[in-house]
Amino acid sequence: MSTLSTHVLDTSLGKPAEGIRVTLHRDGSLIGSSVTDADGRARGFLADGSSLSAGDYKLTFSVSDYFGATKRKSFYNEIVIHFAISNEDEHYHVPLLLSPFGYSTYRGS
């Protein structure tokens, strides 16, 4: 079964983005949540020992509070990444590179 991790880097500051709430949904149902740590990593989406089966998922990054805490305006309130797990034997890493007016993501390792 698959595992999932994510990492948020604030490219406008050149450092990890701490304190962003990240939720994980499948088929419209919340299945996990986390908050990015000082290294910008969100962990523990699923209960210990749990894993993800093949299917479509959605990660939602609530970035408005993060930008507000750093006293910056942002074009985005949330960033939603839809992705598919096809191989249940792999780890899936979904990084987010973030700035107040743009973002990018990719399938990491």
pLDDT per residue over 73-103, tens digit each? 999 999 999 999 988 788 899 999 999 999 9
What does residue 21 show for φ and ψ, rounded to 5 degrees? -75, 130
> What CATH number is attached to the domain comprising 65?
2.60.40.180
Is residue 67 classed as helix, strand or coil in its secondary structure?
A: helix
- H or E element at residue 26: strand 21-26
How many domains does the chain fold into?
1
Mean pLDDT, the chain, whole residue set = 92
Query: Which domain range does residue 18 map to?
Result: 3-105
Residue 24: its pLDDT value, please? Answer: 95
**First-residue to last-residue Cα distance in the chain:** 16
**pLDDT grade for 35, boundaries at 50, 70 and 90:** very high
Residue count of the chain? 109
Single pTM value for the model: 0.92
